[in-house]
């Protein structure tokens, strides 16, 4: 394998061309890759809906949901099936295992639904199958509001919708806040009675006259002609003039019986934006398009469309753009780009301080080149740039330079010994080939298992291991192929650069220093212009083209060459170091000698470290800050749910909502406010969380941009929401709660308990029992459940026997009842103002749409007009609005929030997980749920437990893979186990970091940090033990331990500090703005990654310090064990290691020594072929 290095060195020009192509192609890929906030996740879920106007929840369950469940239960890969039965509707949510064959499963679902549809009663509408995709949520909302008629706003919205949906990046523009049009036929019951007309006669007349009849063709000598009889309605006047009945010599038209008007369907909800009635367009982009570019194009299109409106219309209608995800994504990309550049700068400072200018530039070459190769791979896979990918780059900065540092350091050593640059770098790459590959492989072992992370968290975090694997793989190519050639060529160029440096050295030192600073500034400026060609315009472009970045690339290359000259010239010429003969021990060597130099100290050191680690775990168990599923971030958007109970009308709901809305609008820090009373709302990504069952309205709040409020603590998102909730709490008659729209795989309230059973009475009793206990639990707030809301439904019973006497039936009576409610659907028609067919409904005047009207309505029968009251009765019944089912069993959900900042009776912080554990213990030990009722946890806990189990499995799998690699490298169980002990030390360091930084243990973020650490921290031990094995071949083992600690101290600390330096800013929430200047602390993006960065920094730092102490101690213990320093261990060691082992030979030699006098053991210097064997020689005094 090392022959590839020679092959590359022999074809230097080709490799240089590959380097240039890689850089240009990677830069092009980065500029062209789509930018998005969260990863695009495809959830293996399908939702089936079956509308059925007029059906009750009970009948929907029996006649619609159960037949669907029966047919769909046997689908392959089905994980969970959730049913919804409610008035006018039935739905089924199917959740499948990840990795599903979507095309096949949808086909199977369609076949099963066709079978189930045959069992549906008449009246059920055609079912629909919808996919659930997180990428199909709005990226921006365009609002039309102002002092304009509703019809005008809707007309403008539809026109704008057509323009926007014509854009290539836009998938659809959904309109929220609009009502469908309807042709309303308002009849007078007295006129119907007077003209002796019934509702069924009206329906028949309308349907018979609203159709297009193809009468065939007529063939003549002049040709063939189609004959049509157009009779479809096109205007309201067509319906108005429709003849209904002959009355003597005259014809009674529908206009004689009714008032006909083109209007809107009854309101089911209201919509306002910043207090004004609004119609909103929710823009959804196509997959694979850049969200920033898409919104820019949308803004331009909206502005152009608005400019075409008449001047009065432009003044009357306000066009607003809010909930703009491109701003969030742009800020995220900018902050993470700044974090990447900060990490690179800190790593370069560390390398520059230890290796020198030229070596630091070569190591610095490895960082952007590895990144650009990674972007090339991401582009080939079609992976967009998300926050997960960007953080993967930050995490990899310190790791990817390890191989480059090792190669450059060894090459510098060979050059100082007289080798030529190309030969030195080629030899270095060949000598360090397998150590670099081995250390990289062990790091990759930690991330490989994470590729198989199941569930939504795995899909969400899936690109982190992919990014790390790509970066580290690219770093191998750079360190072992690109770097030797570039280093060799640069070494040749350095002679010419040195000539320039020697010329400049004759100049005044102040001038040389000024030139060095100026060249460094040009390097920085070139990097900025490469990443942001529009830097001088004061804007930050997250995407662009290669041509625009070319000047920055050229400036960066030239400035790098100039900096090499100026830094060399500016470097003070120190006094030459005196040549020292022999070996001189360093301070760390004395420290290591004190540990390993006698049999007792290693035992004391090991015991002390073990005790410290155990105490750390114990202390953390009692004094931790709790655990959480994901991570907390500052609120930027939130939904406030206004809850109320009772049979409230829409007007009453809207009045209560408007009172709360006015309080929100007047709160400092709030940027935009959407409010929706009744049904409706924006289609936002709530992570699967649903509104409380008793919600009467919702207020969607968007804070002003974080950059505008970051310096004012009073405008912190959490503080603003606390103020809002305190204000709303003063409104009597309602309750309120809010859901922060977190980024990440969360799903609503932390406590979510599901009670299952088939008996509603038993379920209701169980819910009351559990909620009573939860209300007494400290810190549990905002308890809600999914039981039917208090209220009544009116049940109209038809006396079939009495109705039959008059020739009436249930269908006829039902039609008369519909006149009082939503009206009778006569037919549909098309009008120019609507793209869809509109309904024609006949109904009573608004003042007659009350239940008491049923007492006066009359039905024409064979015996004349008969009052409906003769054979119907009205009785109130408890309202049953919705029935929920899971896996063919009914259930109720109980959800609750947890108040922060409290502690339980044991002094532990109260968190969602802690309260769940306490509630679970009560359910298992004290609670006696009614027979037939069982419980299970839902929500975040399910995903949390699945992720926790997976991460533990991945952790074990990573250790197993690393153990195999270490056995292959060292061929020693002892050394392999010793290397893996660093993982335990790093875990203790993680817990210390959680305590020091006051952070909760995040199952996902901290868990990923621990797994990642497993692959990082072992590299230090690999370096130590590999060097020890090399030294022990030609010197005593104890001396080899000391020399190893001395020799590898610098590279161990260097690789550790580079990794820690790259993540330290993120750990403190620091983000530098390299484009516009300035910095920020704890931005929403930075808060995401604090826990993971803290885990890596503290874990790696702690493990490195302890490794430099523990590893020599454990190696010394083995040496003392083999030499018999511990009673009886020498013979045991020889027996365990075999007759050919070193311990057995030493024991045999010692026995031989006892039998001989005047002889001593001589250790030869150097490294004889075949290893070192002690031998006996005769002392001079013995010869005498």
Check which CATH number belongs to the domain holding 899 and give it. Answer: 3.30.70.1440
Percent helix, percent strand, percent coil in the chain, to nearest 5: 55, 20, 25
Is residue 783 domain-shared with residue 904, that is, in the same domain?
yes
Is residue 1125 domain-shared with residue 1152, that is, in the same domain?
no
**163, 300 in Cβ contact below 8 A?**
no
Within 8 A by CB and 6+ apart from 111, the residues are: none
CATH number at residue 860: 3.30.2090.10
DSSP assignment letter at 290: -
**817, 832 in Cβ contact below 8 A?**
no
- Strand 1001-1002 versus strand 627-628 pairing type: parallel
- The reply to whether 143 falls in a domain is no
Q: What is the 3-state secondary structure (H, E, C) of 930-950?
A: CCCCEEEECCHHHHHHHHHHH
Which tokens sit at 243? 């003849």
Q: How many domains does the chain have?
A: 8
Which tokens sit at 740? 């922060």
Is residue 1060 domain-shared with residue 1030, that is, in the same domain?
yes
- The reply to whether 932 falls in a domain is yes
Is residue 924 domain-shared with residue 947, that is, in the same domain?
no
CA atoms within 13 A on the CB side of 1002: 26
Is residue 186 domain-shared with residue 256, that is, in the same domain?
yes
Q: Which residues pair with 638 in a beta bridge?
A: 701, 740
Is residue 408 domain-shared with residue 552, that is, in the same domain?
no
pLDDT in the model for residue 270 = 87
Q: Give dist(CA 526, CA 555) in Å, integer.
A: 5
- The reply to whether 273 falls in a domain is no
Q: Give dist(CA 1049, CA 411) in Å, integer.
A: 19
Pick from 938, 960, 978: which residue ends a domain? 938
DSSP assignment letter at 170: E
Is residue 921 domain-shared with residue 833, that is, in the same domain?
no
pLDDT in the model for residue 619 = 92
- The reply to whether 396 falls in a domain is yes
- The reply to whether 309 falls in a domain is no
- The reply to whether 172 falls in a domain is no
List the beta strands (DSSP E) in 99-161: 128-133, 140-146
Within 8 A by CB and 6+ apart from 160, the residues are: 142, 144, 173, 281, 302, 305
pTM: 0.77
Q: Give dist(CA 1101, CA 544) in Å, integer.
A: 39
**Entry field: residues in the chain:** 1184
Please state, as a whole number, how many other Cβ atoms lie within 10 Å of the Cβ of residue 741: 20
Which tokens sit at 659? 């009172």
Is residue 383 domain-shared with residue 462, that is, in the same domain?
yes
Within 8 A by CB and 6+ apart from 1130, the residues are: 1122, 1123, 1124, 1143, 1146, 1147
| Averaged pLDDT in 10-residue chunks for the chain of 1184 residues | 83 89 88 77 87 86 93 90 89 88 91 92 87 77 88 89 91 85 84 76 76 68 69 75 80 84 85 89 85 90 91 89 84 76 79 76 84 90 83 79 83 81 87 82 86 81 88 91 86 70 78 84 78 61 58 79 78 59 75 88 91 92 83 84 86 92 91 87 66 87 87 88 92 88 68 91 93 92 86 81 78 79 81 79 85 79 77 82 89 90 83 89 90 89 83 88 86 87 90 91 86 83 83 86 86 84 86 73 81 91 90 88 65 60 66 60 47 50 43
Q: Which of 752, 1082, 706, 1114 is nearest to 898 (CA)?
A: 752
Is residue 808 domain-shared with residue 764, that is, in the same domain?
no
Measured in degrees and rounded to the nearest 5, phi and psi for residue 1023 equal: -60, -45
Pick from 922, 938, 954: which residue ends a domain? 938
Is residue 1109 domain-shared with residue 1047, that is, in the same domain?
yes
Pick from 104, 119, 134: which residue ends a domain? 134
Is residue 536 domain-shared with residue 679, that is, in the same domain?
no
pLDDT in the model for residue 1165 = 47
Residue where the block lists tokens 């049940």: 795
Q: Give dist(CA 93, CA 132) in Å, integer.
A: 10
- The reply to whether 161 falls in a domain is no
Please state, as a whole number, how many other Cβ atoms lie within 10 Å of the Cβ of residue 110: 12
CATH number at residue 109: 3.30.70.1430
CATH number at residue 944: 1.20.1640.10
Is residue 715 domain-shared with residue 830, that is, in the same domain?
no
Distance of CA 920 to the CA centre of its chain: 29
Domain boundaries, position 532: 505-572
- The reply to whether 709 falls in a domain is yes
First vs last C-alpha separation in the chain: 58
């Amino acid at each position: 394998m090392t022959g590839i290095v020679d092959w590359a060195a022999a074809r230097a020009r080709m490799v240089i061309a590959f380097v240039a192509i890689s850089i240009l192609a990677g830069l092009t890929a980065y500029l062209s890759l789509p930018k998005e906030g969260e990863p695009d996740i495809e959830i293996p879920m399908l939702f089936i809906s079956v509308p059925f106007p007029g059906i009750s929840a009970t009948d929907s369950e029996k006649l619609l949901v159960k037949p669907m469940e029966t047919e769909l239960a046997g689908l392959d890969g089905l994980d969970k099936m959730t049913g919804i039965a409610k008035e006018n509707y039935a739905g089924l949510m199917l959740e499948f295992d990840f990795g599903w064959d979507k095309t096949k499963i949808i086909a199977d679902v369609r076949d099963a639904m066709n079978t189930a549809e045959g069992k549906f009663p008449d009246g059920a509408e055609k079912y629909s199958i919808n996919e659930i995709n997180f990428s199909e949520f709005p990226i921006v909302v365009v609002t039309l509001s102002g002092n304009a008629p509703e019809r005008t706003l809707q007309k403008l919205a539809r026109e704008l919708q057509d323009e926007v949906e014509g854009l290539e990046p836009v998938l659809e523009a959904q309109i929220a806040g609009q009502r469908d049009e309807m042709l309303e036929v308002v009849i007078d019951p007295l006129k119907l009675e007077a003209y002796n007309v019934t509702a069924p006669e009206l329906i028949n007349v309308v349907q018979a006259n609203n159709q297009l009849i193809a009468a065939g063709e007529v063939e003549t000598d002049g040709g063939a002609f189609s004959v049509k009889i157009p009779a479809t309605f096109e205007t309201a006047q067509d319906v108005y003039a429709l003849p209904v009945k002959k009355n003597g010599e005259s014809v009674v038209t529908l206009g004689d019986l009714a008032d006909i008007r083109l209007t809107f369907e009854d309101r089911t909800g209201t919509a306002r934006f910043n207090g004004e009635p609004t119609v909103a367009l929710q823009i959804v982009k196509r997959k694979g398009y850049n969200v920033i570019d898409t919104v820019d194009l949308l803004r331009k299109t909206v502005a152009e469309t608005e400019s075409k409106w008449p001047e009065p219309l432009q003044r009357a209608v306000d066009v607003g753009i809010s909930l703009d995800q491109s701003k969030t994504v742009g800020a995220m990309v900018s902050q993470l780009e700044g974090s990447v550049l900060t990490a690179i700068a800190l790593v370069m400072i560390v390398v520059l301080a230890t290796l020198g200018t030229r070596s630091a530039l070569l190591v610095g070459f490895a960082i952007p080149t590895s990144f650009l190769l990674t972007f090339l791979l991401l582009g080939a896979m079609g992976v967009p740039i998300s926050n997960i990918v960007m953080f993967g780059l930050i995490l990899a900065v310190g790791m990817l330079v390890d191989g480059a540092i090792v190669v450059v350091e060894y090459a510098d050593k060979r050059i100082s010994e007289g080798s030529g640059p190309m030969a030195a770098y080629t030899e270095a790459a060949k000598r360090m080939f397998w150590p670099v590959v081995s250390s990289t492989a062990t790091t990759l072992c930690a991330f490989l298992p994470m590729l198989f992370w199941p569930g939504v968290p795995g899909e969400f975090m899936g690109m982190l291991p992919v990014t790390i694997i790509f970066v580290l793989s690219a770093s191998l190519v750079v360190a072992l192929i690109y770097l030797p050639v570039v280093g060799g060529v640069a070494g040749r160029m350095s002679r010419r650069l040195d000539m320039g440096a020697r010329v400049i050295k004759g100049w005044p030192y102040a001038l040389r220093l000024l030139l060095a600073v100026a060249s460094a500034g040009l390097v920085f400026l070139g990097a900025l212009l490469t990443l942001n060609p529009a830097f001088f315009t004061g804007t930050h472009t997250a995407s662009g083209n290669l041509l625009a970045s070319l000047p920055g690339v050229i400036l960066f290359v030239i400035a790098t060459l100039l900096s090499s000259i100026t830094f060399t010239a500016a470097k003070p010429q120190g006094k030459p170091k005196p040549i020292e003969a022999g070996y001189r021990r360093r301070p760390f060597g004395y420290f290591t000698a004190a540990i390993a130099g006698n049999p007792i100290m290693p035992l004391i050191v090991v015991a002390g470290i073990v005790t410290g680690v155990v105490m750390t775990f114990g202390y953390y168990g009692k004094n931790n800050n709790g655990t959480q599923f994901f991570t907390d971030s500052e609120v930027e958007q939130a939904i406030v749910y206004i809850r109320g109970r009772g049979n409230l009308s829409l007007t009453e709901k809207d009045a209560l909502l408007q009172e709360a809305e006015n309080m929100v609008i007047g709160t400092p820090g709030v940027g935009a406010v959407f409010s929706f009373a009744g049904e409706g709302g924006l289609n936002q990504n709530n992570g699967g969380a649903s509104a409380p069952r008793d919600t009467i309205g919702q207020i969607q709040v968007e804070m002003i941009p974080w950059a505008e409020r970051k310096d004012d603590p009073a405008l912190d998102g959490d503080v603003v929401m606390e103020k809002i909730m305190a204000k709303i709490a003063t409104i009597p008659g309602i309750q309120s709660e809010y859901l922060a729209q977190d980024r990440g795989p969360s799903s609503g309230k932390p406590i979510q308990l599901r009670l299952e059973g088939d008996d509603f009475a038993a379920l209701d009793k169980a819910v009351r029992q559990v909620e009573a206990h939860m209300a007494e639990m400290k810190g549990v707030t905002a308890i809600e459940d999914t039981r039917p809301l208090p209220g009544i439904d009116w049940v109209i019973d038809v006396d079939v026997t009495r109705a039959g006497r008059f020739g009436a039936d249930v269908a006829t009576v039902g039609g008369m009842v519909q006149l009082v409610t939503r009206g009778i659907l006569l037919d549909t028609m098309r009008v120019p103002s609507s793209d869809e067919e509109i309904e024609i409904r006949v109904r009573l005047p608004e003042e007659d749409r009350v239940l008491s009207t049923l007492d006066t309505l009359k039905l024409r029968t064979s015996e004349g007009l008969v009052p409906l009251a003769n054979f119907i009765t009205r009785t109130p019944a408890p309202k049953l609005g919705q029935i929920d089912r899971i896996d063919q069993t009914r259930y109720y959900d109980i959800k609750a929030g947890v108040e922060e900042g409290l502690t339980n009776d044991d002094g532990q912080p109260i968190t969602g997980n802690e309260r769940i554990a306490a509630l679970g213990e009560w359910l298992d030990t004290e609670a006696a749920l009614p027979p037939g009722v069982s419980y299970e946890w839902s929500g975040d806990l399910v995903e949390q437990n699945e992720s926790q189990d997976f991460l533990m499995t991945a952790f074990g799998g990573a250790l197993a893979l690393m153990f195999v690699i270490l056995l292959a490298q060292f061929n020693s169980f002892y050394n392999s186990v010793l290397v893996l002990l660093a993982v335990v030390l790093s875990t203790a360091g993680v817990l210390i970091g959680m305590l020091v930084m006051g952070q909760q243990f995040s199952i996902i973020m901290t868990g990923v940090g621990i797994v990642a650490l497993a692959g990082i921290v072992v590299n230090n031990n690999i370096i130590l033990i590999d060097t020890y094995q090399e030294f022990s071949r030609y010197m005593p083992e104890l001396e080899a331990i000391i020399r190893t600690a001395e020799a590898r101290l610098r590279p161990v600390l260097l690789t550790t500090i580079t990794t820690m330096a790259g993540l330290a800013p993120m750990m403190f929430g620091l983000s530098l703005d390299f484009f516009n200047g300035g910095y920020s602390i704890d931005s929403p993006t930075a808060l995401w990654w604090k826990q993971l960065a803290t885990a890596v920094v503290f874990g790696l730092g702690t493990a490195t310090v302890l490794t430099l102490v523990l590893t020599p101690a454990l190696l010394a213990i083995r040496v003392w064990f083999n030499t018999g320093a511990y009673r009886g261990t020498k013979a045991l060691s020889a027996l365990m290691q075999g007759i050919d082992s070193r311990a057995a030979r030493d024991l045999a030699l010692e026995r031989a020594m006892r039998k001989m006098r005047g002889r001593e053991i001589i250790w030869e210097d150097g490294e004889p072929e075949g290893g070192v064997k002690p031998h006996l020689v005769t002392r001079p005094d013995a010869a005498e």
